[in-house]
Structure 1
Amino acid sequence: MTGSTLVSPLQKLLRIGLVPQIVIGILLGILVAVASPELGKQLSLLGTVFVKALKAIAPLLVFVLVASAIANKQASDNSAMRPVLVLYMFGTFLAALVAVVLSFAFPTTLVLEASPEAIAAPEGISQVLKTLLLQVVDNPINALIAGNYIGVLAWAVGLGIALQHASKNTKLMFSDLSHGLSSLVKFIIRLAPLGIFGLVADTIATTGFSALASYGRLIAVLLSSMAIIAFVVNPALVYFKIRRNPYPLVLRCLRESGVTAFFTRSSAANIPVNLQLCEKLELKEELYSVSIPLGATINMAGAAITITVLTLATVHTLGVQVDFASAILLSLLATVSACGASGVAGGSLLLIPLACSLFGIPNDVAMQVVAIGFIIGVIQDSAETALNSSTDVVFTAAVSQSE
């Protein structure tokens, strides 16, 4: 009787669905961190194991899926990648513009007392583009190990094209391998409630909320910009493509992709989650197998917002005058820079000095802003990743459904 008594609640918990289980994990993580911060820190192992498992399987999954999809692609297939790329770039540019508007409407000033981080920021946009080009020709084994998705995609596309004339058995082998890896990913994703429980407990126990209070206005501008993109701009772009109510799709992507990305804080770790969501939405595999990993690299609306808001906060703090043309130029620079964020150590925050250089702001001052970015990163980076990752599925689904 005891065994059946224990199994019954567990079975009921498993039946309620993954997203409710994640919500329960979040609430339990908060309770544990508040009740016992030391225990909360120890539970970080659960989150670390979950994120590392996703990061470990994601490069191999992307490589096999892309190679298999292209190898088995029929000559009449239309992958529709061009419209997806247009949405990625246009959406990122609009995100930067929204950030500019809110930054002028609610100007924020900073107390530049933080110690500059001893990290090398990119010296110019040419360095960002050079980094991206070098990633394309990276050693394929190293690309898989390092999680260099530009390199993984490039080699997978090349192999897929080469295998288009291979025997049916060879193509079938790659197809079976992709299905096997997808099954493995589904098992890892089932562990998300435990992983997020550990991540939440550790984050709140370690940082709390006091360190963020002094930057409340800055966080509010960042989150407001991201919310406008997620709930206004993205739905408008989706409606333009599918000509029907976009909110069921947008909200589902935020719920099933954005929530996980918020707590893992890694677009790479969320690639398997997005691929599974695309499968649930019954999208074309030859489209999403390429667009999702590519989006994790270049679709960076959240990063564009972070770069723009923190740069303009620095500008307002120093009293630098910014005209309309400079604001548009900043939006364009943030768009291009955000696409290379994943290719620069430290992500979007280290591209702030590049944007600040537009206004003649010294690098040592800009790096103090980077340090502030690390302080608010618990919220900023989480929200940024959630927006970036969920938008990958939103735009892929919009293009797929518009056909």
Structure 2
Amino acid sequence: MFFKLVEKYKNGNLILQISIGIVLGILVGLFSKYLASFSMQSSQNLIEFVSIFGNLFTGALKAIAPILVFILILTSICTKEFTQNSAKMKNIVFLYIIGTFLASASAVIVSFIFPIELILNGVQKASNASPAHISDVFKDLLFKIVDNPINALSSGNYIGILAWAIGAGIALRHCSIEAKQIFIDINEGVLKIVKFIVKLAPFGIFGLVANSVAQTGSDGLLSYLKLLIILVFTMLFVAFVINALIVFIYTKKNPFPLIFICIRHSAVFAFFTRSSAANIPVNMSLCAKLGIDKDLYSISIPLGATINMAGAAVTIAILSLSAAHTVGIEVGLFQAILLSIIATFAACGASGVAGGSLLLIPLACSLFNIDYDIAMQVVAVGFIIGVIQDSTETALNSSTDVLFTAICSKNELNYNLK
């Protein structure tokens, strides 16, 4: 009976399971507040018990995130072959990168206009938030870069992790095919661990929501709702304004007929699958219907599922700045530009699993010297709102793959799709 329940849970819909976890967490949190009017000790015991689930979940994320970032980036640089000399492919890759950067820059601007402060545990306002001079920022970055790689992994120094991963990836680019396969296998193994942890997210989210409601009441949930609205608004802005401008500048034509085709035939599917990789066959079929050369889209679509991550860049930038606003850090112009670049680079390395971009948030948070524990609490908040956030993010990422491939194909596109 027990094993049947485990198998049923394993094969269940993660979005539905997380939704149930959120609802149960709210109910338990409200019940604990009601129970406190009769017995404060019983209420505390209940919250301490359910908080264990949330603490175990965030603890597992804290443990795996540095390893994931290191292996993911090292393997990506080490194994990917950039031998496509086609002018069209170069244009597509350029649009992938510039689109992701503009998305992260848009997210930074929106975060400045609508700053979000989250209700987190153990947060103290920063007294001397940001360095006074740019030289201080560079000095801090340089010392983080040359940190001992073992210490960087154990302490969550993501700038150091990033630097050593890039260095190792470049150094190993010319190693044997067998050696590269080892890194690919290790990367797959780490992703399986991440998938296992993410599969347990409903239990962790249940504990986190219950504790948040019990401690802060509706304030904590309201901060999550505000954050979700900002994230979805920014992604829609990127889809219908930034992407529209890119298409118009590139083609000098009305961008919206093609954008709506990509939304209707790609984004809708990606919203429910929550995986750019799983949406590759859908995008390839759409490209074929549009009349794009197979030799082009057979390369650009799988590549886009890996490096075209505008939605991930939005998530990383907004959640990182929410963490900065929460602890009272004032972010300067130089740091904002640096964050846009880091969010772009981090997004391109986001893993293909649901919620993969969330695990790269500590990398961006390290730019502001935000405590690792605080950064991981923000990651946990990301999982709570991930039912909508991750679906919208994937829809933006995947539909943009087709959009940029189509405008670079130079073919006469078929807009009469059913």
TM-score above 0.5, yes or no: yes
Task: Give the drift of 1:345.
Answer: 9.8
Q: Contact 1:267/1:296 (CA < 8 Å) preserved in 2?
A: yes
Which residue in 1 is equivalent to 2:51?
A: none
Alpha carbons 2:355, 2:386 under 8 Å: kept? no
Contact 2:270 2:395 in 1 (8 A): yes
Q: 1:46 to 1:318 in 2, by over 3 A?
A: closer
- CA RMSD in angstroms, aligned pairs only: 3.8
Give the 5 Å matches for 1:226-375: 226-342=235-351, 347-375=356-384
Partners of 1:377 and 1:95 lie apart in 2 by 19
Alpha-carbon distance between aligned partners in 2 of 1:402 and 1:307, rounded to the nearest angstrom: 35
Residue pair 2:157, 2:366 contacting (<8 A) in 1 also: no
Matching residue within 105, 117, 121 for 1:97: 105
SS of residue matched to 2:119? coil
Partner of 1:126: 163
**Alpha-carbon distance between aligned partners in 1 of 2:335 and 2:183, rounded to the nearest angstrom:** 42
Q: Return the letter of the residue paired with 2:260.
A: L
Aligned match for 1:382, one of 391, 397, 414 = 391
Any idea what the Cα deviations from partners look like across 1:154-188, whole Å, max 9, x if unmatched? xxxxxxxxxxxxxxxxxxxxxxxxxxxxxxxxxxx
Q: Secondary structure at the match of 1:139?
A: helix
Q: Which moved more, 1:126-135 or 1:259-268?
A: 126-135
AA at the equivalent of 1:317: T
- With over 3 angstroms needed to count, the CA separation of the structure-2 counterparts of 1:147 and 1:246, relative to structure 1, is farther
Task: Tell whether the 8 Å contact from 1:257 to 1:386 is kept in structure 2 after alignment.
Answer: yes
Please list, as runs of the form range in 1=range in 2, the aligned pairs for 1:2-401 lying within 5 A after superposition.
78=86, 80-113=88-121, 123-124=158-159, 125-127=162-164, 129=166, 138-139=180-181, 146=188, 213-214=221-222, 215-342=224-351, 347-401=356-410
Give the TM-score normalised by the residue count of structure 1.
0.61
Q: What residue identity is the alignment partner of 2:407? A: A
Describe the superposition over 1:257-313 as per-residue Cα deviations: whole angstroms up to 9, x where unpaired.
Answer: 101111110111001111111111110111111111011010010011000000100
Structure 1 residues 106 and 298, CA gap change in structure 2 (3 angstroms): same
Q: 1:135 to 1:375 in 2, by over 3 A?
A: farther
What SS does the corresponding residue of 2:396 show, helix, strand or coil?
helix
Instruction: State the SS of the aligned residue for 2:118.
Output: coil
Cα 1:283/1:377, change in 2 over 3 Å: same
Please report the TM-score for the alignment, with normalisation by the length of structure 2.
0.59
Residue 371 and residue 132 in structure 1: after superposition, are their counterparts in 2 closer, same or farther (change >3 A)? farther
What amino acid maps onto 1:126 in structure 2? A
AA aligned to 2:351 is S
Q: Is the 8 A contact 1:121 1:350 kept in 2?
A: no
Distance in 2, Cα, partners of 1:386 & 1:333: 22
Contact 1:100 1:309 in 2 (8 A): yes
8 Å CA contact 1:128, 1:343 repeated in 2: no
CA distance in structure 1 between the aligned counterparts of 2:355 and 2:375, rounded to whole angstroms: 14
Secondary structure of the structure 2 residue equivalent to 1:341: coil
- The alpha-carbon deviation at position 350 of structure 1 amounts to 1.2
Instruction: For 2:169 and 2:282, locate their aligned partners in 1 and report how far apart those are by CA, in whole Å.
Output: 25
The answer on whether the counterparts of 2:284 and 2:298 sit within 8 Å (CA) in structure 1 is yes
Aligned partners of 1:381 and 1:81: how far apart in 2? 28
Distance 1:273 1:95 in 2: 24
SS at match of 2:295: helix
**Distance change >3 Å, CA 349–CA 131, structure 1 → 2:** farther
1:180 matched residue in structure 2 = none
User: Which sections of structure 2, spanning at least 5 residues, go unmatched?
Assistant: 1-6, 15-82, 124-153, 191-201, 211-219, 413-418
Cα displacement (A) at 1:147: 11
Q: How many matched pairs?
A: 279
Partner of 2:29: none
Segment of structure 1 superposing worse, 239-248 or 83-92: 239-248
Equivalent residue letter for 1:139:
Q
Residue 401 of structure 1 aligns to a residue whose secondary structure is coil
Secondary structure in 2 matching 1:110 = coil
Q: Distance between the aligned counterparts of 1:291 and 1:350, measured in 2?
A: 26
Contact preservation (8 Å) 2:275, 2:353: no
Distance (whole Å) between structure 1 residues aligned to residue 291 and residue 189 of structure 2 = 27
Q: Could you say if the C-alpha distance between residues 224 and 247 of structure 1 is closer, same or farther in structure 2, counting changes exceeding 3 Å?
A: same
Post-superposition Cα deviations, 1:201-220, rounded to whole Å, max 9, x if no partner, equal xx9xx99xx99953111011
Task: Tell me the distance in 2 between the aligned counterparts of 1:366 and 1:46.
Answer: 29
Tell me, yes or no, if the aligned pair for 1:131 and 1:343 is still in contact at 8 Å.
Answer: no
Post-superposition offset of 1:402: 6.7
Alignment partners' CA distance in 2, 1:128 and 1:270? 28
Among all aligned residue pairs of Structure 1 and Structure 2, give the percentage whose two residues are the same amino acid: 51
Q: Work out whether residues 121 and 351 of structure 1, in 8 Å CA contact, stay in contact via their aligned partners in 2.
A: no
Give the conservation status (yes or no) of the 8 Å contact 1:315–1:321.
yes
- Following the alignment from structure 1 to structure 2, what is the Cα–Cα distance between the partners of residues 224 and 382? 14
